[in-house]
Amino acid sequence: MTERHDVVIVGGGLVGASLAIALDRQGLDVALVEATPAGQMPAVFDQRNLSFAAATVNALTVLGVMQQLRATTGPIRRIHISRQGDFGRVQLDAVDYGREAFGQVVVARDFGEALEARLDQLARLTRYRPARFVGFAPGDAGSRVLRIADAGGERELRARLVVAADGTRSAVRDALGIGVDEHDYLQTLFVARVRATRAPDGTAYERFGDAGPTALLPRGDRHWGVVHGVARADADAVAALGEAAWLARLQREAGWRIGRLIGSGERSGYPIVRVVAQRLVAERAVVLGNAAQTIHPIGAQGFNLGLRDALTLAEELTRSDDPGDADSLAAYATRRQEDRERTLAFSDGLARLTANPSPLLKPLRSLGLMAVDAHASLQSFLVGGAMGFRGDVPALCRGESV
């Protein structure tokens, strides 16, 4: 028997689950195909630290997700940007822009639990788990047929719209014949929770270096979230460091702005490869989130960009009775173009420029830092993007209900 749904979302991670919640408000019959069994969290919901832009906080509040968080979030009230060995720095304060905070730091596992609690409240959502996408079967002009495999074997799902939210190595994207452009930064980012002699005060520090960025994020549990970039060739050696040596390395890279580092939790490493889909839509199908673009985490743009994908799609689907209508999907792709291209350019450009050790770039970077710190217009441009207000912003990101 073939199950029928308006929308089938493949991938139950951060973006796929958020889209399911947004679509439920519209009365659509939505199905979520998830690799993880009930009662377990996807691997993405680990101890890494997510920086939610203000636009993301707005949207997740309207969707009722922020209210489900049990752990305290860490407000980002100030941002301090510098580069090791260069002159100049940029300091931004939310008060100067009439805001209490630029965003919030949320632990991925806490966010996963909040999403799960909200998903449990959705009466119309069908969840296939654990299940994996196998491929497409012949459909018709009004639908696509997906083949999925679960404990009972293979089954077919018929959907008017298929959404690929299954991550960087998206099987759905590949089955749709959508190619990708890749760039390996030859960096590995380590994430951990650390304690310091100074408790978080709402300041987020971003320190650039030859091997990548080191960020210190103010968590809500009186710890700091660390993101530390190293050259890929050094990753195994860094992973093998004992706690004392690991903290000493961080201290050298980050400096003493938060005092002495005195303890670290478990650390995890993630190779950084940029993977960008060459198209966002196909016949009755959309790719979004990391399946559409996996970018360098510098500037904390990845999840925020993916969520804006999901919310823009949800908004476009309110304009037609057919969620897979070609005109609606074309409008979605057009709306996402500016935000996507500008965010991709910002992330990639910043990653390459700040990690380039050439002495010729040092004075240019220093002048750039000083110029941004001195000119309000440049700061406003940077702040607007950092808070998620770039391009055609979905209404939910402005705190408005669709």
Domain ranges of the chain: 2-75+103-182+274-357
What pLDDT is recorded for position 304?
92
Measured CA to CA, the distance from residue 360 to residue 317 in angstroms comes to 50
Read off the tokens for 257. Answer: 């702005």
Cβ pair 103, 76 in contact under 8 A: yes
- Burial class of residue 47 (count of CB atoms within 10 Å of its CB; 0-12, 13-18, 19+): middle
What pLDDT is recorded for position 174?
98
Axis crossing angle, helix 326-355 with helix 376-386, rounded to the nearest 10: 120
What pLDDT is recorded for position 362?
43
Measured CA to CA, the distance from residue 320 to residue 324 in angstroms comes to 9
Cβ pair 50, 111 in contact under 8 A: yes
Confidence of residue 367 (pLDDT cuts 50, 70, 90): very low
How much is the average pLDDT of 299-304? 81
Decide if pLDDT at 335 tops 90.
yes
Which of 120-129, 208-217, 327-336 bottoms out in mean pLDDT, i.e. has the lowest? 208-217
Return the CATH class of domain 2-75+103-182+274-357: alpha beta
Cβ pair 396, 317 in contact under 8 A: no
How much is the average pLDDT of 239-259? 94
Tell me the Cα Rg of the chain: 21
Highest averaged pLDDT of the listed ranges 35-44, 93-102, 378-387: 93-102
- E strand or H helix that includes residue 249: helix 243-254
How far from chain centre, in Å, is Cα 154? 31
Cis, bond preceding 271 (omega within 30 deg of 0): no
Query: Which residue from 212, 342, 351, 385 is spatially nearest to 274, judged by alpha carbons?
Result: 351
Axis crossing angle, helix 14-24 with helix 302-316, rounded to the nearest 10: 30
Cβ pair 255, 297 in contact under 8 A: no
What pLDDT is recorded for position 372?
46
What pLDDT is recorded for position 353?
62
Decide if pLDDT at 168 tops 50.
yes
What pLDDT is recorded for position 203?
96
